Amino acid sequence: MALPIGTILDGKFKIVQILGEGGMGTVYKVAQVGTNPPYYYAVKELLVNPNTSEEERNAAIDRFHKEIELLRDLKHPRIASLKLPFQDRGNYYFAMEFVPGRSLEKILEDANKPLPEEQVIKWMIQVCEALSYIHSRVPPIILRDLKPGNIMITPDNEVQLIDFGIARRFDPNKRTNTENLGTISYASPEHLGSITMPGQRRSADNPGRLVQTDARSDIYSLGATMYHLLTNYEPEPIQTPAPGSILAKNPALRTIQVGGKTVCPVEQVIIKAMQQEPAHRFQNADAMRTALFSCLPNVPFTPTTVQIPSMPNKATISTTPAGSAVSGLICPKCGYQNRIGAKFCKRDGQPLVQGVAVAPPQQRHSRIQARPVRQPIQPRPVARQPIRARPVSSNNAARPATSMGDPMQPYRDGLQQLASKNYAGAVSHFKQALSLGAPPYDTYYNLGRSYRQYGQAVRSINQKAFTDNMRYAAEQFEQALKYKADGIDAHFQLGLCYRDLGLLEKASAAFQKARSLAPQDPAIYYQLGSIALEQGMKRNAETWFQDGLQINPNHVLLLSALGRLQLEEKQIPAAIKTLQQATRLDPSLWDAWYALGRAHMHNREWKYALGALERSRQANPRISETYSALATAYLKLNKKHEARKMVEEALAHDPQNTEARRLQKQL
């Protein structure tokens, strides 16, 4: 039974609304006592019923604690974050970020008809972003209960995943799941613990092949969720939809002509996602996100295709959309705007995850250092030594293929190794390709990328390996430019290497050359402005940032860098305006939120400052300066208890934080 409205939990949370009830407990909307205006949280309760068996009770408590453990480490704009676990009245609770809005289950129920196709696609692209994040954890986290009821849509039309109650960490040593939980309409065959051959029924005599849920199980559930949202029919449990069946239930779905045949792109994505065999589905959420992008009506198709094994007519859909009205992802490292659906930046290989950004590298004018979005590569044998380049003579580089083999095969193998982050293998293959006469510019260019990406991967753990590989990378880009002097990407990469090596004059010259070849590329202006800042030439930096914004007024990294510079120069109204635009375009820019909070502090607008700094903390909870700034703002509002907590957090992250140590003495 739910607790009455007005009940105080843990001495600090007042129940204001019941959000949902189930057999194992209730979810409440609560207001934090003493905050004005009220600050809301969602509190999840585990009601331990004394009438249940001890085994059931222990299992429920164990699942509840596992959910807390999983949520504790998750920090992503599309996942409600954990705030505080506690016990009260003999029951277990945890408070988490309150997500306003409605679940997709409620939206579908209220509409009582299929939801608009384009809107559903855009929502599901956002779900893929969250899945990419949890699946890339070490070990991967599998949601296992993805369904319309667990996907919230905020008033800003943004997706938030809720309820990690049966999520689990993937264990490669297990053959099957310990528990087979989840909502059966959206559950993959793996949820049952085994997969049977097509046409066979699962029975005691035919239990099927033992399997456990993995990231591809969530892909199946996402396809089933799309099926429900676009047809207003619950999917048949453990069934792959037949070709044409989804379109028959919703004839309004968009169709196109491919090879003389009528194809429904979104239907094909759903069918592929809901394949019985995991190997036949999209193999990761990024691949499904790419395919979903290609289903948008304003994204043209390209020859790249995805085959759907279960479809006898071999109908295909595009997965690599070409230029479109939809903006591609801006690389958080170099500022380059990539094509729609790109997984890695074309320029520097940085992983691209929409909604996850990091501060640009080498911001020497700022004492805040961003940590990388992803962990460094797991060391193979090369991890103890930098990759050593042997000079490849130019007279061999353009040699035609010989009987030794096809030069393009090791080149293709090198690209595959590079994408898999096996950088030593990539170097070996590209060097072999050069010796066999592969195209020299492309091969030297990708050889340079291999060295550079390896250097970036080991930067935080081996400074010498980082420096050595940056130097080797620069040599390869220089070699590539001997064969193609107007190679814009090689000039750009060369500039990045020089900048990482601290050779700022040479870096500026490389980017100036790139600018002469591509004067409309805002990423070049971002790099030139950042280098000018590192050289102490703030006026020049501001000019470069402004010039870049003339080309693309919504380039978030340019806006963020310009706003931080304006703050540093005490141009407070301009800084606030610029930083507000940056954070509106990309709410995950923690450094822009931090600078915005500092700008409001300069104006003594303490409540606005708290709001911005809290967003910065949510986007990146590891920055000591954010907590000390929050402490200052709380102290100015005479909230000493909150200020003390923030000081403790600041010093836990950096015991040398001077602002926090000063506040500690005051408090």
Beta strands in 425-562 (DSSP E): none
Full DSSP string of 274-328: T-SSGGGS-SSHHHHHHHHHTTSTTS---S-EEE-TT-TT--EEE-S--S-SSPP
pLDDT band at 406 (very low <50, low <70, confident <90, very high): confident
* Average pLDDT rounded to a whole number, residues 393-409: 49
Lowest mean pLDDT among 160-164, 198-202, 382-386, 589-593: 382-386
Q: Which residues contact 13 (CB under 8 A, 6 or more apart)?
A: 30, 31, 32, 33, 41, 43, 95
Work out the angle at residue 497's Cα, subtended by the Cα atoms of residues 495 and 498, and round it to the nearest 5 degrees. Answer: 65
pLDDT surpasses 70 at 422: yes
- Kindly give, in sequence order, each residue whose CB lies less than 8 Å from that of residue 384, ignoring residues fewer than 6 positions away: none
537 pLDDT band, cuts 50/70/90, is very high
The predicted-structure confidence for 5-58, as pLDDT tens digits, reads as follows 999 988 888 998 888 775 566 888 989 988 888 888 888 887 666 666 677 667
Q: What pLDDT is attached to residue 597?
A: 94
- Burial-class residue 470 by CB neighbours within 10 Å (0-12, 13-18, 19+): buried
Model confidence pLDDT, tens digit, residues 588-611: 889 999 999 999 999 999 999 999
pLDDT level of residue 346 (50, 70, 90 thresholds):
low
Rounded Cα distance between 119 and 11, Å, is: 42
Q: Residues 285-307: pLDDT tens digits?
A: 888 998 898 898 877 544 334 44
Residue range 58-74: average pLDDT?
71
Binding-site annotation, residues for ATP: 44
Domains and CATH numbers, the chain: 8-97 (3.30.200.20), 102-198+208-318 (1.10.510.10)
User: Residue 507's pLDDT band (boundaries 50, 70, 90)?
Assistant: very high
- Please report, in range form, the residues annotated as the binding site: 44
Kindly indicate the confidence band of residue 461, based on its pLDDT and cuts at 50, 70 and 90. Answer: confident
Which range among 273-282, 373-382, 412-421, 562-571 shows the weakest confidence by mean pLDDT?
A: 373-382
Strand partners, 13: 9, 32
Give me the pLDDT at residue 419, please. 77
Summary mean pLDDT of the chain = 78
Query: pLDDT-derived band of residue 1, with 50, 70 and 90 as boundaries?
Result: low
Q: How many CB atoms lie under 10 A from the CB of residue 210?
A: 13
* Range among 41-45, 145-149, 156-160, 481-485 rated most confident: 481-485
The model's pTM is 0.48
